[in-house]
Amino acid sequence: MLQAMRSGAKSPLMKFFLLFLAGGFALWGIGDGSTGLIGGSDKAISAGEQSLSPREVAIEFDRTRRAYLPNTTTEEAVQGGLLNEVIGTMSRELLFRAENQDLGLTVTRAMQRDAVANEPSFQDELGQFSEGRFMQALANASYSESDYLKRVDNVLQRQQLMAPLAGGLRYSNELASVVAAHELEKRTVKLTSYAVRPESVPTPDDAVINKFFQDNKSSYAAPRLRSAVIGSLSAAAIAETITISDTEIQTTFDERLDEFRTPETRDIRQMVFDDETTAATARHRLNNGENFAEVASSLLNWTDADTNLGTVTQAALDGNLATAAFAADAGAIVGPLQTAFGFHLLSIDKITAGGVTQLEDVRDEIVSTLRAERAIDVLYDKVNMLEDVLGSGETIEEAIRKAGGRLNIANDINRQGQTIDGLPVAGEANELLQDSAILDLIWDSEINEASVIQEGSDDVFFVVNVTAETEPRERRLGEVKKLVISDFKRVEAVKTARAAADAVLTTPQTDQDTVTSLAFRRNGIGLDHEAAGLIANAAFNQKSGDIQVIETGREAIAVRTIDIIPATEKELSETTELVLTVMNNAMRDDMTNLLLISLSQKHDLQLNPVAVQQLLIGTTQ
């Protein structure tokens, strides 16, 4: 779940917003119980004189969930670890704030303005700060100006502390260049392939088969096997039996109308001035009929792109701007209104009313959701019934029948849930045997004793009764003759393919008409072959003109390295810079984490995630 949030943050702006989140909660070891950092006060996070309330953390959690995990509920996000990530992020920020307070370091408005103006995401094609792009970026990310400036403050506080420490940390340019050259080198090959064809090998006589079996007898031994009866109850199976009425669907739709509502949006342009007098002059010119774009160009030297905020929701704008902009009619001019960035004039160009998705469009979604929710309740009732019936002395078969569950029998399975020959079990039991919890219970239970009821994956509860166990033993040829013949043919087919490929080593002209591959890197990227990794490993471990044979199980391939292609100067320069950036960042991150551990002790960092979780869960009930 969290991975989906991280992978969605691809733009520089999103990376800027998530700067601390990457460090996360793991630094403090929450959930470990051994750090001594868990607090029991009414403060969610405290460090020195700085603190955050459970409500403040809950608000940040919900903002993060809505921005990056919009399709998850609060409970799902908490269970997935988002609360831990948010508390970890805010703990880091609070420690930097506490240390800055001790040292008397502050963030000035000029520092804020420089940080915003120099953010590449907010600059136009000429590298100049664009107020329009800034506001549009915040709108797209659902951040207000004040929220964003708080994050700028956190970054600047961190930089003030870290810059003196990290300034001397530098990865070697020469070493970075060596790493880059190693990674960028490419090679081309000629491949001569010989397929493994067991079907072309004639069936051997009994004497040959018997010798092959005797030589490999241990590989055909039967492992320890168990047979078991598996009783299971699953939410998915129960959901299929639940009927949802039209009345229930309509009621749910009405109750959850906000989930299906699209907010009102407005197309807005704006101008922002440093002083109120110039803003008033602009408003006067607009009132006298001058064009918005002309006034912006005349007074600010802004282009149309600079003024364009695009299509925004009310939540995307800062407080007083949002209120005024969404109270005005289409075509109106709003302002001047003051924010931290100056005095704003807004042009309300278009209004798109919000709406509600039609019931028929979400009917299936509602039915599926209601079934899943009710299935969980029914599931636990059935599990309690199953426990009571088993406790009264009835068999698994009788108890599962009364609880309405599913009964499967797994005969003679090994510890991996496979047959005596290492093949998947036939039938429905195979699905259950993919769950390691069920397999563990089968192999940990006593024979002929019903196990305790346990929970597996995907809301499945199960109980097992091991009915039999057989000891490991040698098997006779007659039991495995078909398997032995099949293995013999495959071994002989591999030998034949290998021999043909080895012949290329002594007769290099064999591949003279073979087409040379496209250039590829040492990880196999660029080589269109299912065994690209094996081929690349061979190609990069020999000189140009050398040949070696690899086997894939399906073919034997003679790999001749043809060209060794070093990186171009441009590639080498760019990648060296990348390696330097990555390694320098890694060293700075290590330094930051060491500092944070020290600051957590100095400022007595205390965390109380339970208070936040109770507040969050309470707001959803």
Structural domains of the chain, ranges and CATH numbers in brackets: 2-169+579-620 (1.10.4030), 186-219+478-565 (no CATH), 225-240+366-470 (3.10.50), 264-353 (3.10.50.40)
Strand order in the sheet with 520-521: 520-521, 186-195, 555-565, 547-551
Distance CA 39, CA 45 (A): 8
Torsion over CA: 392, 398, 438, 238 (sign): negative
Q: What is the dihedral of CA 498, 499, 500, 502, to 10 degrees?
A: 80
Phi-psi region of 38 (alpha: psi -120 to 50; beta: other; left: phi over 0): beta
Contact 255, 429 (CB under 8 A): no
> In angstroms, rounded to a whole number, what is the distance separating the alpha carbons of residues 448 and 516?
64
8-state DSSP, 222: B
Q: Which amino acid is at 37?
A: L
Q: Tell me, letter by letter, the H, E, C secondary structure of 171-191.
A: CCHHHHHHHHHHHHCEEEEEE
Question: 444: Cβ–Cβ under 8 A, 6 or more apart, which residues?
Answer: none
Given a contact cutoff of 8 angstroms between Cβ atoms, the answer to whether 197 and 493 are in contact is yes
Helix (H, G, I), strand (E, B) or coil at 404: coil
Give me 324's structure tokens: 């005024």
Strands 333-339 and 342-352: antiparallel
How wide is the angle at C-alpha 567 spanned by C-alphas 566 and 568, nearest 5°? 120
Sole residue written with tokens 């002395």: 393
Nearest-CA neighbor of 299 among 331, 271, 335, 276? 271
The Cα–Cα gap between 305 and 565 comes to 45
Question: Please, which residues have CB within 8 angstroms of residue 482's CB and are 6 or more apart in sequence?
Answer: none
Tokens 């800055």 locate to 100
Q: Tell me the pLDDT tens digit for each residue of 472-528.
A: 999 999 999 999 999 999 999 999 999 999 998 888 778 888 899 999 999 999 998
- Are 146 and 43 within 8 A, CB to CB? no
pLDDT, one tens digit per residue, over 191-249 is: 999 999 999 999 999 999 999 999 999 999 999 999 999 999 999 889 988 889 988 88
SS3 of residue 197 by DSSP: coil
3-state secondary structure of 240: coil
Q: Is the peptide bond before 70 cis (omega within 30 degrees of 0)?
A: no
Does residue 222 contact residue 414 with C-beta atoms inside 8 Å? no
Q: What are the backbone angles phi and psi of residue 405, rounded to the nearest 5°? A: -95, -165
Q: Can you give the pTM of this predicted structure?
A: 0.52
- How far is the C-alpha of 165 from the C-alpha of 318, rounded, in Å? 36
Q: At what angle are helices 396-403 and 359-391 packed, to 10 degrees? A: 150
- Angle at which helices 569-602 and 82-103 cross, to 10°: 80
Closest CA to 99 of 602, 491, 537, 533: 602
Rounded distance between C-alpha atoms, residue 545 and residue 505, angstroms: 11
Whole-angstrom distance, CA of residue 243 vs CA of residue 296: 61
Q: Using one digit for the tens of pLDDT, what is the confidence trace for 404-447?
A: 999 999 999 999 999 998 889 888 888 888 888 899 999 999 99
In the three-class reduction of DSSP (H, G, I as helix; E, B as strand; rest coil), residue 198 is classed as helix
Q: Which residues of the chain have pLDDT under 70?
A: 1-41, 140-143, 165-169, 258, 356, 618-621
Contact 152, 115 (CB under 8 A): yes
SS3 328: coil
User: Which pLDDT belongs to residue 167?
Assistant: 63
